[in-house]
Amino acid sequence: MVDGDGGGCPRCGCPVRELCPVEPGHRMSQGRLTYLRCVCGSWLVRLDGTVVAATRSPR
């Protein structure tokens, strides 16, 4: 696992801090929700800077 800054992509391990947020994010009661597009094609969902979910890469 990648240490620091919320970890990385669960599919390819790319550290999310090297990815650019697609949008500023949404303010939720749990924290800030942001989406990032990984270099492997997955969409990563971050909550307050921590990756909580990822989509499957399209085929």
- Min dist CB 27 to Zn ion, Å, is 25
Q: Which residues bind Zn ion (CB under 5 A)?
A: 9, 11-12, 14, 38, 40, 42
- Min dist CB 49 to Zn ion, Å, is 17
List Cα–Cα distances, 30 to 1, 3, 20, 50, 52, in angstroms. Answer: 24, 22, 22, 12, 12
Considering the complex, state which of residue 14 and residue 33 has its C-beta at the smaller distance from Zn ion.
Answer: 14
- Min dist CB 14 to Zn ion, Å, is 5
Contact 16, 44 (CB under 8 A): yes
